[in-house]
């Protein structure tokens, strides 16, 4: 392996899915995995197979579909977890067991309730057992950045002796700062005698906004694998954002002479897909993939960019797959133009999905004069990535305003293939609509967030609604888009309920890793 080559380990499907509100079904995980494979991700951590039968099946489905990337599954340091992980990933041409154990004094005392020597022995036993099942074993020292150096060195040396090919040092709680984290990696390189037999990896969380900076500092100190997620998705404040890491290395080879195998032109496509599947909207000022990342409103900036793009752009929009098409879309546009637009936007859909989306597009074009790229993105997200939902929106009529008190809503939903109708009232049109949904789909989930924003400008703009529901400690986000805000609201609530059904089937085990 080229010593300057950095392995990209993407954990969007595992750590990313642990984000409160994010959930992915089997088909969605496979779609994301195939996009990650196509863009050149080296290792895809597909999930936590022991968590549930659904997660096991999803990891196994990814393992059977992906051909070039290594498929990893996560396992705690127990025989049952490791065996289940092996069963899930073994169908992949390249597969890995990723097992972990806490090593910091805080975690050992309060979480594991184990003495250091017992932890060290468990490291040896778990890695040795995993090594009997697969050649490629990764071991992680959970809360590694807060682990005593002497003990961390002993654990790392023992894991390598037991057969681990990759050693991951997570900054599990996002506590480290770049120079400190780099010094930790350098210390392991200098003190662990068998460190040359393994690849050092890092997994940084963004609690202090330093996940990417810490990851890059670690690479400069000797790490050669970075664990990251698309859009920085992950628990709490998220993980190191894959797109930021990759573009930092590509943009600043003068200071960081390292390479990856990522086809950066597919970054925007991956970002949009993950956002659509999880319902997590990318903030406008997000680096690399945010809506404003390549926008210039200041007159001085606009003047500079027009004269020479490099005055204010350190990378091109095209380098991350952001292209602008001059193709104007409207109600007279045909399938060929629509398919070409989808290609420009980074979508590669099956014929049936294109046809479904085209029908929705024509309906939108009848109601909206100007169709912007953002409209089509919202339409695709709404129409395509929900094909396996058990609950489907069919129709809504709302009566509200000063002449209708209380507001009334009549709703049609398809539930497990059967269309049902109900009428309900509420304190307002949104309340009436949501009460109608509750009447057809009884549940105890609480509404934590209701948010509306316009996809584009104009009074005929599509409204994109985000709904967050909570049930028994599980939170989900739902999204819906339509030129009618009430219809968008209903779609968002139904989307959230479908995700809640998926969440109910997943009961993640305790002691999740970084």
pLDDT at 382: 66
Each residue's pLDDT tens digit in the chain (514 positions)? Answer: 678 999 999 999 999 988 877 878 888 899 999 999 999 999 999 999 999 898 999 999 999 999 999 999 999 999 999 999 999 999 999 999 999 999 999 999 999 999 999 999 999 999 999 999 999 999 999 999 999 999 999 999 999 999 999 999 999 999 999 999 999 999 999 999 999 999 999 999 999 999 999 999 999 999 999 999 999 999 999 999 999 999 999 999 999 999 999 999 999 989 988 988 887 888 889 999 987 887 644 454 445 545 666 665 688 888 988 766 545 677 888 888 888 888 777 777 778 888 888 888 888 888 877 787 778 877 776 666 676 789 999 999 999 998 888 999 999 999 999 999 999 999 999 999 999 999 999 999 999 999 998 887 788 888 889 899 999 888 888 889 889 999 999 999 999 999 888 877 665 555 455 5
Nearest to 488 by CA among 480, 499, 498: 480
Q: Sheet containing 418-425: give its strands across.
A: 391-399, 408-415, 418-425
Count of CB atoms situated within 10 Å of the CB of 116: 16
Considering the entire predicted model, what is its pTM?
0.85
End-to-end CA distance of the chain: 27
Identify whether the C-beta of residue 279 lies closer than 8 Å to the C-beta of residue 491. Answer: no
DSSP labels, 275-289: HHHH--PPPTT-TTT
**CA pair distance 200, 9, nearest whole angstrom:** 12
CB atoms within 10 A of CB 483: 17
Q: How many CA atoms lie within 13 A of 470 on its CB side?
A: 7
- Using alpha carbons, select from 471, 453, 476 the residue that is nearest to residue 463: 453
Residues 102 and 282: their CA atoms lie apart, in Å, by 32
Q: Give the residue carrying structure tokens 């489905």.
A: 61
The phi and psi torsions of 142 (rounded to 5 degrees) equal: -60, 140
* 257/483 Cα distance (integer angstroms): 48
């Amino acid at each position: 392996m080229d010593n300057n080559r950095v392995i990209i380990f993407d954990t969007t499907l595992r750590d990313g899915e642990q984000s409160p509100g994010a959930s992915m079904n089997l088909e969605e995980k496979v779609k994301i995995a195939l996009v990650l494979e196509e863009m050149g991700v080296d290792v895809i951590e597909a999930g936590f197979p022991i968590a549930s039968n659904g997660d096991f099946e999803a990891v196994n489905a990814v393992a059977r579909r992906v051909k070039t990337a290594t498929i990893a599954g996560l396992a705690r340091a127990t025989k049952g977890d490791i065996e289940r992980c092996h069963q899930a990933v073994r169908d992949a041409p390249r597969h890995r067991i990723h097992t972990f154990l806490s090593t910091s004094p805080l975690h050992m005392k309060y979480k594991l309730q184990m003495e250091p020597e017992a932890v060290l022995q468990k490291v040896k036993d778990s890695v040795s057992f995993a090594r009997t099942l697969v050649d490629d074993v990764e071991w992680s020292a959970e809360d590694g950045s807060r682990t005593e150096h002497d003990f961390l060195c002993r654990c790392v040396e023992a894991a390598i002796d037991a057969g681990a090919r990759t050693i991951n040092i997570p900054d599990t709680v996002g506590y480290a700062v770049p120079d400190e984290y780099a010094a930790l990696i350098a210390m392991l390189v200098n003190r662990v005698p068998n460190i040359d037999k393994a690849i050092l990896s890092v997994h940084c969380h963004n609690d202090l906004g330093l996940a990417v900076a810490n990851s890059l500092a670690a690479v400069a100190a000797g790490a050669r694998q970075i664990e990251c997620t698309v859009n920085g998705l992950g628990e709490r404040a998220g993980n190191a954002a894959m797109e930021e890491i990759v573009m930092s290395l590509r943009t600043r080879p003068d200071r960081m002479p390292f390479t990856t195998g990522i086809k950066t032109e597919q970054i925007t496509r991956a970002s949009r897909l993950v956002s659509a599947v999880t319902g997590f909207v990318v903030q406008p000022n997000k680096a690399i993939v945010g809506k404003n990342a390549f926008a210039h409103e200041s007159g001085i900036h606009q003047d500079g960019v027009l004269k020479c793009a490099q005055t204010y752009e350190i990378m091109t929009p095209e380098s991350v797959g952001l292209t602008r098409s001059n193709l104007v879309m409207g109600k007279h546009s045909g399938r060929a133009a629509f398919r070409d637009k989808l290609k420009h936007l980074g979508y590669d859909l099956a014929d049936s999905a294109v046809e479904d989306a085209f029908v929705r597009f024509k309906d939108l074009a009848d109601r909206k004069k100007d169709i912007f790229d953002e409209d089509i993105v919202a339409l695709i997200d709404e129409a395509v990535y929900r094909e396996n939902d058990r609950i489907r929106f069919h129709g809504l009529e709302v009566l509200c305003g000063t002449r209708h008190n209380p507001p009334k809503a009549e709703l049609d939903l398809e539930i497990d293939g059967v269309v049902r109708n109900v009428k309900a009232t509420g304190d307002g049109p949104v309340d009436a609509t949501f009460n109608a949904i509750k009447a057809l789909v009884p549940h105890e989930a609480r509404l934590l967030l209701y948010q509306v924003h316009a996809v584009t400008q104009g009074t005929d703009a599509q409204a994109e609604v985000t709904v967050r529901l909570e049930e028994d400690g599980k939170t989900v986000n739902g999204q819906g888009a339509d030129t009618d805000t009430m219809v968008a609201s209903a779609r968002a609530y139904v989307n959230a309920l479908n995700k809640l059904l998926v969440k109910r089937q997943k009961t993640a085990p305790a002691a999740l890793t970084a």
